[in-house]
A and B are shown apart, each in its own frame.
Chain A
């Protein structure tokens, strides 16, 4: 009998891993699975996206590094829309801690739910759906899902949005799409933000856009300054052209 597992086999056993379990090459069999590990969240996100669409709510995801200007872009957008229209906009704000961003967009006229993710590095469809339970969606026109500031982790996790925007601020550097291609591969729009700072930094917008398009061919790009208002009209036209 095999001294390790009592299997009764005399054949040689290959020891694997930490040696706690030994493989029996003669008796293992291959089982084909071919299932995506990301599918659970993806299906959840697809259900949420269709539920929102059925209510006539356009959902836009915002991703980008911390400080890319996601919240500032929303503030400027709500300012441009005016109080009455902004009151029909809802923002789900993802951050590891605090409700600072939720307070900012509420001050700009929108409604908001803050999701404090703790140590979690990204939002997912379940977190967003849970957050939406605490808010009335009756007269909502648009939902913004502002992800945790992160250029890596949000990539494989759709959150129920219909379109996803990735922001790169000119202070972050034009090489970011080349360095973090996964996030750009899943984007529907590139927004280059803080363009009022262009005279003060070495940022090549053409390089940034080219890098993003290597990850996602044909990705549209907009240059926007929330501070000066440059590019806001084109941005709001894009945002308004949704599902």
Chain B
């Protein structure tokens, strides 16, 4: 139920990383989702395009890898 809120945190992190990298926009977002993070990848994937609309990640692809552990990590961006 809280994946939309997490998506907003993800986008805030991603936009900061984009600015640091001097990019224009985000083409892809690569995330790792821990098996024990309590985060549902499907719900994240559903929320992502809605939360990203109108941001510099509008239309960006979301790539999710499952990892052991409890964390949710923004691994890398593909930026333009």
Query: Which residues from 43 to 68 on chain B have a C-beta closer than 8 Å to any C-beta of chain A?
Result: 49, 58-61
Provide the bound-state CA to CA distance between A122 and B39, in Å.
13
Query: Which residues from 13 to 51 on chain A have a C-beta closer than 8 Å to any C-beta of chain B?
Result: 16-21, 23-24, 27-38, 40
Interface presence of A215 (CB below 8 A): yes
Majority SS at the chain A contact face: loop
Provide the bound-state CA to CA distance between A16 and B26, in Å.
12
Closest beta carbon of chain A to B70's beta carbon, Å: 6
Interface presence of A185 (CB below 8 A): yes
What size tier do the contact residues of chain A reach?
A: 35 or more
What are the interface flags for A208-225 relative to B under an 8 Å C-beta threshold, 1 for contact and 0 otherwise? Answer: 000000010000000000
Provide the bound-state CA to CA distance between A182 and B73, in Å.
16
> Known contacts being A17-B61, A31-B17, A38-B37, is A156 close to B77, with CB within 8 Å?
no
Query: Are B1 and A153 closer than 8 Å at their CB atoms?
Result: yes
Query: Are A35 and B27 closer than 8 Å at their CB atoms?
Result: no
Subset of 26 A-B contacts with CB under 8 Å: A16-B28, A16-B60, A17-B60, A17-B61, A21-B25, A21-B27, A21-B58, A21-B59, A29-B23, A29-B78, A30-B78, A32-B75, A33-B14, A34-B74, A36-B71, A36-B72, A37-B13, A37-B31, A37-B73, A38-B6, A38-B72, A120-B2, A152-B1, A156-B37, A182-B38, A215-B36
